[in-house]
Amino acid sequence: MAKLYFYYASMNAGKSSTLLQAAFNYGERDMRVSLWTAALDDRPGFGAISSRIGLASDAHRYEAGTDIASRVLEDHAEAPIACVLVDEAQFLTRAQVWQCARLADEAGIPVLCYGLRTDFQGELFEGSAALLGIADSLVELKAVCHCGRKATMNLRVDERGRAVSQGAQTEIGGNDRYVALCRKHFSEALAG
């Protein structure tokens, strides 16, 4: 039976590289995958899934109105798709998470979603909340805080490296804008 998986972590835990490794493993066995990433990322490499360690692959891009299930099923009708891999899954809408569940439940296609659990204020993203609620399997990938503890939080920083506590939930950036921290150091940074 196919399942809906949610691999979640703070930033810099290797989510994208783990996804790309899974895609490689399927491809090595001549099995076709469908790769997806959020369309809102306009940094270099837009439209690609890329990792900090240099792995990258082209991907379909989804927006809030994209019907992922329909697109996957159209492709699946042309040639079988063995697995759907979704990067930046925190940006999925609740409806898109249910589309992914239907792909697993009705089409028998496993769907592996990779994303952040919470934003820079410790709040769940819509896609992450839905995945935490209905995924068949939840897998936490580990990142490490500078103190050596497990990093579970994403601290947003300004150009001087100071903690940012307010703003839009989504602001695209990498190591220049976010630092993965344990809850203790996240709270201390926000306190000042």
Residues serving a catalytic function are 88
Return the beta strands (E) in the chain as ranges.
Answer: 4-9, 33-38, 48-50, 56-58, 60-62, 83-86, 111-116, 137-140, 143-144, 150-151, 153-157, 163-164, 178-181
For 141, residues 6+ apart whose C-beta sits below 8 A from its C-beta are 7, 8, 9, 13, 14, 15, 18
Which tokens is 136 given?
A: 């068949």
Please give the backbone phi and psi of residue 57, each rounded to the nearest 5 degrees, phi first.
-155, 145
Three-state helix/strand/coil letters over 98-112: HHHHHHHHHHCCCEE
Q: Is 88 left (phi over 0), alpha (psi -120 to 50) or beta?
A: left
Q: Mapping DSSP to helix (H, G, I), strand (E, B) and coil, where does residue 3 land?
A: coil
Contact between 177 and 146 under an 8 Å Cβ cutoff? The reply is no
Q: Mapping DSSP to helix (H, G, I), strand (E, B) and coil, where does residue 74 land?
A: helix
Q: Mapping DSSP to helix (H, G, I), strand (E, B) and coil, where does residue 136 land?
A: coil
